[in-house]
Structure 1
């Protein structure tokens, strides 16, 4: 028997031109109402060409990486609560 679940991740990007910074939030919502948030940022050197897409890509990648680490930590905590033993998961 196959069971399907749907999880969704929304990525929100904010560019702050005065700071030459792009901030990203990656928000995970699962079918069991779990919600996790990852954050990331990209900082443009004043000498670099202003290409917004590159800042978006870097900030989003960092937010997704942060989210992945938080998801691993959540899984480890869930396992520990069931087994009552220390768990160490590797990515």
Structure 2
């Protein structure tokens, strides 16, 4: 039996915008590329209250986690759509 390995890549891009009065906002994009050129982009954000201590890593982690969660939901939706197209039946995936 042969094993077919496929490689998918997720790139996370993070940027931060600082607004003195409202604090900083961190935005992350999780960009998925598959072997068949499928491309999905999940987006997540985090906001630091101006009264909070500035620890950039926390905003990065939270925004990246939210972007990955968004990407995960999009991938599940794409899978359901592909299954429904292939089977011509309504699909409900169990958690």
C-alpha distance after superposition, 1:37-57 (max 9, x if no partner): 000000111211011000000
**What residue in structure 2 maps to residue 76 of structure 1?**
80
Matched residue count: 91
Question: Is residue 26 from structure 1 mapped to residue 4 from structure 2 by the alignment?
Answer: no
Match of 1:11 in 2: 12
Q: How much has 1:26 moved relative to structure 2?
A: 0.3
Which blocks of at least 5 consecutive residues in structure 1 are unaligned? none
| Moved >4 Å (runs of 4+) | none
Does residue 39 of structure 1 match 2:40? Answer: no
Q: TM-score w.r.t. structure 1 length?
A: 0.96
The normalised TM-score by structure 2 is: 0.92
Return the alpha-carbon distance in structure 2 between the equivalents of residues 5 and 71 of structure 1.
16
Q: CA deviation at 1:90?
A: 3.8
Q: C-alpha root-mean-square deviation of aligned residues, in Å? A: 0.9
Where does the alignment leave 5 or more consecutive residues of structure 2 unmatched? none
Q: Distance in 2 between matches of 1:85 and 1:67?
A: 24
Higher CA-based Rg: 2
